[in-house]
Structure 1
Amino acid sequence: MQHDIHSDRILILDFGSQYTQLIARRVREAGVYCELHPWDMDETAIRDFAPKGVILSGGPESVTGDNPPRAPEIVFQLGVPVLGICYGMQTMAAQLGGRVETHHHQEFGYAQVRARGHTALLKDIEDHTTPEGWGLLDVWMSHGDRVVEMPAGFKLMASSEGAPIAGMADETRRFYGVQFHPEVTHTRQGDRILNRFVHEICGCAALWTSANIIEDSIRHIRELVGNDEVILGLSGGVDSSVVAALLHRAIGEQLTCVFVDNGLLRLDEGDQVMATFAQHMGIRVIRVDAEQRFLGELAGVADPEEKRKIIGRVFVEIFEEESNKLTNAKWLAQGTI
């Protein structure tokens, strides 16, 4: 049975943290589809996205300032788990009835937090254990504000020297907040924490894998293209090469690649492109030897930007000339848009 690899999805709301893209990367590395959107994403769009969980990122603003960024209220009404990271935890606390203050003891860099309360998010995840049996985590902090009063329904999940409330949890609603950054490698157990959130707490399956993405793309291409023919501009670079391989697997001989050899490639690179795609992979490739045309257009031009524009223009002209000869083609494929 074909699974929808996008069905188990996480929504990441970005409050401007320098680490937000890392959150998305960690979630995808866990095999879960996610999308990153601004913190003020429209509530209807959030509901339509239908996430299985929401992550609120960190950010440079202060919850205690005038008109600070706030998570859309719908986030806390969807009935799905929510994880607040750094600023995300602070706005969660403030919006749900807790209290946040700016404190003179700020934390930037390595810190050690003690896990408390045996919560679903942190239970049995630790870097060290004290003689008393307390679990300790080596983490990365970056904050000036801190939560000083948790909202009703929350319990203490972690604490550090600089943040007595370094983590909080409402297990009933599955709301969790951590003052540290699990997405960075300096938080040694960060991957385990995020994996536990998306898999065990949110219930997402690991469907977003390279193999599944390829098969899903092939199925989509076949449904879209049908029996039509497709033209692809092949340069030999990563983007167009991946598209060529993917299209060939999907539609075989319906694909024709046009390789414009401008004479500016590395030594023998043009021959390597033909050997890889035409000879070894069996893809239909039209090689256009356009070296003299390109060099003629570039003769006497010294400005790099002007050269770039000339190369782009001449490539388009040659590609259009060749593609116009392929009268049965209905689709144009590109590796880079």
Structure 2
Amino acid sequence: MTRILVVDNHGQFTHLEHRMLRDMDGVETELVDNTTAPEDIEADGLVLSGGPDMDDTGHCADYLDLDVPVLGVCLGHQLIATELGGSVESGDYGGYADVDVRILDEDDPLVGSLAPETRVWASHADEVVEVPDGFTRTAESDICAVEAMADTDRDLYGVQWHPEVAHTEEGQAVFENFRRICE
């Protein structure tokens, strides 16, 4: 059984990330608050959820050093970028919308199976504009150059969009791919 924890950054869709993982075969999951001490985290992988406030991410930066695969969703994606030397800025587009995303790396273990493109539900109020050293851009759209990023050497991944919502066409595949990374 693969144990994947969802770290709650108080986003409106966090419970859906937990539910999607809970409903997958071979996954044991739990929703934990972002104030959980890093030494209390016992998992094969972590999902850093979305959320409303970069200043309210608790110990998420410390979780990046736990030597387990990490998937950042929206705010979690942005947190990974800022903590590891990338840049996040306000997006030109703003609020939630359906977005066509082009997959840039068909071999990427997280989003490669979605190639050549997929339709997602995303907010672009803030977005990653520069990936950290060691990361590659793995997806883009007409409104955001970094829809997804990956550092496969460290098993750190981020997506700007919300794979857990019904509006995202292949969201389940993103979580299934992350499960395989964590196994």
TM-score by length of 1: 0.52
What's 1:120 paired with?
Answer: 109
Q: Does 1:37 align with 2:25?
A: no
Q: Is the 8 A contact 2:7 2:47 kept in 1?
A: yes
Letter in 1 for 2:33: P
Q: Secondary structure at the match of 1:121?
A: coil
Q: Does 1:193 align with 2:159?
A: no
Q: Is the 8 A contact 1:98 1:151 kept in 2?
A: yes
CA drift at 1:177:
0.2
User: How many pairs align?
Assistant: 181
Q: Does 1:98 align with 2:98?
A: no
What's 1:272 paired with?
Answer: none
Distance in 1 between the 2:119 and 2:91 partners? 22
- For residues 72-94 of structure 1, give each alpha carbon's deviation from its aligned partner in whole angstroms, at most 9, with x where no partner exists: 34311221110000001001111
- Which blocks of at least 5 consecutive residues in structure 1 are unaligned? 1-6, 127-134, 204-337
Distance in 2 between the 1:11 and 1:35 partners? 5
CA drift at 1:33:
1.0
Distance in 2 between the 1:89 and 1:183 partners? 14
What's 1:136 paired with?
Answer: 117
Q: Is the 8 A contact 2:92 2:124 kept in 1?
A: no
Q: Is the 8 A contact 1:167 1:178 kept in 2?
A: yes
What's 1:27 paired with?
Answer: 21
What's 1:296 paired with?
Answer: none
Q: Which has the larger radius of gyration?
A: 1
CA drift at 1:109:
1.8
- Which blocks of at least 5 consecutive residues in structure 2 are unaligned? none
Letter in 2 for 1:29: D
What's 2:72 paired with?
Answer: 84
Q: Which has the higher contact order (CA 8 A, sep 6+)?
A: 2
Q: Is the 8 A contact 1:117 1:155 kept in 2?
A: no
Q: Is the 8 A contact 2:50 2:76 kept in 1?
A: yes
Distance 1:87 1:166, change over 3 A: same
CA drift at 1:201:
0.4
Q: Secondary structure at the match of 1:10?
A: strand
- For residues 208-245 of structure 1, give each alpha carbon's deviation from its aligned partner in whole angstroms, at most 9, with x where no partner exists: xxxxxxxxxxxxxxxxxxxxxxxxxxxxxxxxxxxxxx
Distance 1:16 1:140, change over 3 A: same
Distance 1:59 1:168, change over 3 A: same
TM-score by length of 2: 0.93
Higher helix share: 1
Distance 1:108 1:73, change over 3 A: closer
Q: Does 1:54 align with 2:46?
A: yes
